[in-house]
Amino acid sequence: MDDLRHIEAIVATQPPPNDSYEAAFYTTDFIRFQAQEDPCGWRTLQRNFSLPHRWYGVKRRTLLVRIARHCMAIRHHTGGADKAWADSVGRSAALELAEEGLLDRWYGVKRSTLLAPRLKI
């Protein structure tokens, strides 16, 4: 959903690249094709999951919140092994945020569970 808001803001405020509406049409068509091919955004989640260990501060926290929100959305739209993977990634992101004192309870995570085994981000 964040990506759609981002795209909407760009389309509303900026002219197309090289002032070519034809190129913008093809780019939009490509983005729409990608969204249809991967409606839950697994590729984006996998790409974002590999980034937090490289970033620090606000940028890292923002990405962790984005990952946790994405995982919460996936939990409601899928099941099976995919849901289990999204749950573990989301829990891991929530634990990282809890370690920084940014949340007390989210994703069923309490600060007392910080020592529980989790995925390494």
Question: Which tens digit of pLDDT belongs to each residue from 22-78?
Answer: 887 888 899 888 888 887 788 888 788 777 677 788 888 888 888 888 888 887 777
Q: Centre a 10 Å sphere on the Cβ of residue 41 and count the other Cβ atoms it contains.
A: 19
What is the separation of C-alpha 101 from the centre of its chain, rounded to a whole number of angstroms? 21
Amino acid (1-letter code) at residue 119: L
Confidence of residue 105 (pLDDT cuts 50, 70, 90): low
* More confident of the two residues 1 and 88: 88
